[in-house]
Structure 1
Amino acid sequence: MYQLFFKFIQKSMWLITLFWLVVVAQELGHFPRLFLYSLAIVLVLLVQQKEALVKAYRFAMAHKKGLVFIAIVFQLVVIVSANLLVRRDAAVVITGALEMIGEESISNYLTRNPNNLPVFLYARSLYHLFGFSALWVLQLLGMMYINGTAYILYRTGRDFFSQQVADSLFSLYLCLLGFSPYVIQTYTDITSLPFLAGQLYLMVALLKEEQKANQRLCLLGLVTAIATVFRPTALIIVIAFAMVLFLKGKWKKFVHYMAVFVASFGLVFAGLTVAIYHQQEVTIVRDETLAKSLTTFINLGLTYSGTDQEDMKEGLLLYVEPDKREEYNNGMFATENELKEIKRRLRSYTALTFAQHLEYKLAQTLYDGSLNWLYREPEDEKTPLVSPLYAYTEKNAFAEAVRQTIIQYDGKYYHYYQVVKQVVWLLVAVGLFAAVRRYRADDTLNFLSLAIFGGLLFLMIFEGGKTRYLLQFFPQILLLSSLGLVTIYQKERKL
């Protein structure tokens, strides 16, 4: 059963990563031709100077603290130069937590979107401690989360694989997230990262080593409970871990590990859930007709792009009386309405159009090396939280150059930043393809492949269609890619 199941996962991942490689490479073709030709010439010159490139990489890896320091300076420059800090849903949550909008507004929003209540309470607790300065505390914590995750991932590679894997994992992560504008986004994407990385570290440790199992399982339960409060998809990697143990057929070990983990996780998660349910910071109307649920996100996932909120709402409004359709809390999220709309959407697809929908949704999920960063000018955004520092940097030439190159998706020079990210993302796709090219009876490789497969399957069933959603599976994606890249490098050195 172990071999049959994981050979199926390996073949599936081979097809998915090949598709991933193709869509990422195709996206490079959308950049200006002259720009691409120049990039190609630079890459050819770098390949010709391979030994010098290897020496430069080794020098950089020998000075990781220096790289992290440069990344921190980069992040501070982005924070100071930013014209807006958060947008859309995140902006409503943060402005509500900082009492910048009315109590009724944030109450209505969280009644409809209860999944954002934990991050609201997290930000509100900081507001109680620091007042409006909590806005900058959130930024500081965001920097700690991003850079702390880099350390956890590096230790995962070094402690359980090799120095080469650790260096590759550290480099890919730092290029994609350490040097990125995501540091200003104080939302669950960044907040959950160190907990997700901690999950990965502990699970790999449990697969690789027998000692300290109970301590690691208890800590895994704690970390998973916190991660699940912010990101329920943190449970997907737990399912993959459990399936590896189960299919190995070592029943005593499976029962032992699951019993300790479930006890630890259940205790912490139950405590957090009860505390959140009985919170007194904001009024939440407990009515299933008013709140988005799992069926809402299945419904949203069935829109053609997988993320078309307006299309989803238009469909649900068909089941609401015409005179109530303009009301915010009009009961359109009733389970009965959701199920009717899901059935209607499924009937509207043919086998061909449903396959095209999945292909488009998967491509939109995988293609973008800038990880779906879409900040624009504040006046073009919905409910933006404009940075208090913008009044001082609005006319500063350097800050404006940072905004036009790194922060604003529609900036004059943003494509320079974007193409660098796309090249790194292409490297990630190459590593993933190499890692799953053939089946190996390796528990860790199979665990990582299954965890990523499960994450992508989740995004195909529920809301998907944005590369940003891969951030919740980033630790396992980058680790598997690093294993593949090191395999390529070792084979090339032998030749």
Structure 2
Amino acid sequence: MLSKSKRTLFGFLHLVLLLLMVHWLYTSVVYLQEISNIAIFIAVFLFLLTWLLRDRLKIAYVWLIQHKKGFLIGAVICQFVMMVCAELFIRRDAAVVFKGAFDLLKQSSITNYLSRNPNNIPLFLYEKFFYVIFGSSGLWVMQLLNILYVNLGAVLLYKLSQKHFSQKIADLAFVFYVSLICYSPYFYSMYTDILPIPLITLQLWWVLDLLKADDAVISWKELLGLSVLSGVAMLIRPTTIIVMIAFWAVLFFRGNWKSFGKIAMVTGLATGFVFAGLNTAVEHQSVVPILKKEGLAKGPLLFINLGLTDMGHNQEDMKEGLLAYIDEDKRSDYNNGLFKKENVIKEIKRRLKEYGPWGLLGHIYYKQSLTVAEGTLGWLYRDVEYEKTPFINPLYEPLTKNNGLAKWVRTYFLSIDRPQYKYYEFVKQLIWIVLSAGLVGAFLKRRDTDAFNFLSLAVFGGLLFLTIFEGGKTRYLIQFLPQIILVASIGLAGFSKKENT
């Protein structure tokens, strides 16, 4: 009975994911129009040319695979060049957190910000640690660590794919990861997108190890290691729990209740204990004063409300809606109870009623389209004059302001306001389209294995989270890219040869 239910459930899941991936492919192609009116025609011509010259393309791809180390080293060099040449280094919320951690803001300012946004306290403490140890040089230490994190993710994903799938899938996953993430300036932005990537990849690796192992010889050390890792990762990005939920779901449908009970209990309790311990430590930190008053801090429900705004991340629309529940004479007060739970619930109900069933479906479709659209992963760095809270690269004034190479890098790769940025954006979008084609291919064929079902759930869980909570930015997919890239690589590998999944 359970086996039949499992087959039916995962069959339905794969059908839903196939529809989502077809939409992803369609959206990524249509987005070419946002880059240029003729971008779609150029892309079609290039793909046709690629098909006609596929034998030469295969030779070029084989050469690239034979020089993987050089490909990654080239990415590291590009990362250093981008880091040095950038003018705008850190923007928006990330800049506020950084400036507060490095004592570049008044304490009252960072206190007010973190009291409103307590989800950013772990990032603040992380950055403050490096400031205390290294002073202003802590910025460069963290940047070097970011370079380590992003490139370590490539190595781990490659080794994981080699071990659990095939060399062909490992090569594809490596090329996708390095092309999309390593050849990108995202690492220096100081968001929490890059930091957890190697942890997420290790999560996937250890879960796949455990799913592959015989129930009688489960490694309890690996279980505890996975739990500790997941607890730490959750502090950085709570969405990493989705990997564990997918793991527990696959174990449940195996039908071995004794094994499921032991593993779920050990990993659930250990992960919860580690996360709760770290979260408690953060809540009781004394590095920066935090104001705790009703309706002051943004809670989880608020991000559901934010997800119901037109784009799924419209902060101004979200605040404007909530202000309707606040007396006019108190609306300008710092602590006016704007984010009280009852206000947020009322606003969620109002938005849902205003949408109606069909309007909500339209909203979800639009939000999902924004989420999966951009091959640049939603890079939004504009010229400095358009930024509200910029932190300028300390190397800009003394070193790169008038440097020709630095100007060229900023113009073609770092500022979306420059028309020349379209070339880089176009190349990234072509890679994104191929990735989305791989995702479609992965679900065209029935792959009823624990490993693939686990990855499917991990991808679906991420998309579902961005549908319910704040979404509508491709940047939010970075935290789910390891599993997305794996699934796409499986799909592409299956186009030409039956792969081992």
Q: Please give the range of the TM-score, normalised by the shorter of the 2 chains.
A: over 0.9
Which residue among 312, 321, 328 is the counterpart of 2:318?
312
SS in 2 for 1:173: helix
Structure 2 residue aligned with 1:406: 413
Q: Which of 374, 385, 398 is the equivalent residue of 2:380?
A: 374
**In the TM superposition, what whole-angstrom CA distance separates every residue of 1:312-345 from its partner, at most 9, and x where no partner exists?**
0001111112122112332100111111111111
Report the CA distance shift for 1:314/1:38 in structure 2 as closer, same or farther (over 3 A).
closer
| Candidates 357, 360, 364, aligned match of 1:358 | 364
Alpha-carbon distance in 2 for matches of 1:286, 1:375:
33
Per-residue deviation at 1:42? Answer: 4.1
Report if the CA contact (8 A) 2:384-2:390 is conserved. Answer: yes
Aligned length: 492
Q: 1:408 & 1:7 partners in 2: Cα distance?
A: 44
Structure 2 residue aligned with 1:93, among 93, 97, 105?
A: 97
2-structure distance, mates of 1:247, 1:491: 26
- For residue 167 of structure 1, what is the aligned residue in structure 2? 171
Q: Which runs of 5+ in 2 are unaligned?
A: none
Partner of 2:133: 129
Tell me the distance in 2 between the aligned counterparts of 1:38 and 1:319.
51
Distance 2:498 2:225 in 1: 37
Please give the alpha-carbon distance, in whole angstroms, between the structure 1 residues aligned to 2:324 and 2:311. Answer: 20
- 2:120 aligned partner, one-letter code: N
Higher mean displacement: 447-456 or 479-488? 447-456
**Contact map agreement 2:176 2:485 (CA 8 A) in 1:** yes
Q: 1:105 to 1:33 in 2, by over 3 A?
A: closer
1:224 paired to 2:230: yes
Give, in angstroms, the shift of residue 439 of structure 1.
2.9
CA shift, 1:352, in A, is: 2.2
Q: 1:51 aligns with which of 50, 55, 78?
A: 55
Give the equivalent residue in structure 2 for 1:454: 461
Task: Please state if 1:417 is matched with 2:421.
Answer: no
Alpha-carbon displacement from aligned partner over 1:87-134 (angstroms, at most 9, x marks no partner): 101110111111111101000000000000001000001111000111
- Structure 1 equivalent of residue 193 of structure 2: 189
1:393 aligns with 2:397: no
Contact persistence 1:126–1:134 (CA under 8 A): yes
Query: Structure 1 residue 325 and structure 2 residue 331: aligned?
Result: yes
* Corresponding residue SS for 1:122: helix
Contact 1:112–1:329 (Cα < 8 Å) also in 2: no
Aligned-partner SS, 1:85: strand
Task: Indicate the residue corresponding to 1:433 in structure 2.
Answer: 440
Residue equivalent to 2:478: 471
- Picking from 325, 333, 336, the partner of 2:342 is 336
Whether 1:208 and 2:212 are equivalent positions in the alignment is yes
Partners of 1:36 and 1:374 lie apart in 2 by 22
**Cα distance in 1 between the residues matched to 2:496 and 2:379:** 31
Q: Check conservation: 2:169, 2:493, Cα contact below 8 A.
A: yes
1:287 is displaced (CA, Å) by 2.4
One-letter identity of the residue aligned with 1:393: T
Q: Distance in 2 between matches of 1:358 and 1:53?
A: 38
**Kindly tell me: are residues 490 and 355 of structure 1, through their superposed partners in 2, closer, same or farther at Cα, counting changes over 3 Å?**
same
Q: After superposing the two structures, state which structure 1 stretch, 139-148 or 269-278, moved more.
A: 269-278
Say whether the 8 Å CA contact 2:32–2:39 is kept in structure 1. no
- For residues 354 and 432 of structure 2, the distance between their equivalents in structure 1, rounded to whole angstroms, comes to 35
Aligned residue in 2 for 1:151: 155
Query: CA contact under 8 A between 1:172 and 1:428: conserved in structure 2?
Result: yes
- Please tell me the residue identity of whatever aligns with 1:381: E
- Structure 1 CA distance, aligned partners of 2:258 and 2:275? 25
Counterpart of 1:189 in 2: which secondary structure?
A: coil
Task: Report deviation, 1:215.
Answer: 1.8
Normalised by the size of structure 1, how large is the TM-score? 0.96
Partners of 1:42 and 1:366 lie apart in 2 by: 22
Percent of aligned positions that are identical: 44
What do the CA deviations read for 1:418-465 (whole angstroms, capped 9, x no partner)?
Answer: 011111111111111111113332111111111111111111111111
After superposition, the Cα gap between the structure-2 partners of 1:413 and 1:167, relative to the gap in structure 1 and judged at 3 Å, is same
Q: 2:37, 2:268 → 1: CA distance? A: 54
Asked if 1 retains the 8 angstrom alpha-carbon contact of 2:400 and 2:406, the reply is yes
Mean alpha-carbon deviation: is it higher for 70-79 or for 402-411?
A: 402-411
Residue range with higher mean Cα deviation, 409-418 or 56-65: 56-65
Deviation track 1:126-151 (CA, whole Å, cap 9, x = no partner) reads: 11100011111111111011001001
Answer with 139-148 or 285-294: which moved more.
Answer: 285-294
Which secondary structure does the structure 2 equivalent of 1:371 belong to? coil
Amino acid at match of 1:53: L
State the SS of the aligned residue for 1:372.
coil
Look up the match of 2:24.
20
Question: How many angstroms apart in 2 are the aligned matches of 1:212 and 1:243?
Answer: 17
Q: 2:355 aligns with which of 331, 349, 365?
A: 349
Cα RMSD (Å): 1.5
- Any gaps of 5 or more consecutive residues in structure 1? none
1:1-39 superposed Cα distances (whole Å, 9 cap, x missing partner): 211211110111111111111111111234435555455
- Decide whether the 8 Å contact of 2:151 with 2:182 is kept in 1: yes
Of 259, 263, 271 in structure 2, the residue corresponding to residue 257 of structure 1 is: 263
Q: Indicate the SS of the match to 1:29.
A: helix
Distance in 1 (alpha carbons) for counterparts of 2:300 and 2:46: 48
Q: 1:298 aligns with which of 296, 304, 314?
A: 304
Instruction: Classify 1:347/1:45 alpha carbon distance in 2 versus 1 (closer, same or farther; 3 Å).
Output: closer
Higher mean alpha-carbon deviation, 479-488 vs 349-358, is at: 349-358
Of residues 101-110 and 25-34 in structure 1, the stretch that sits farther from structure 2 once superposed is 25-34
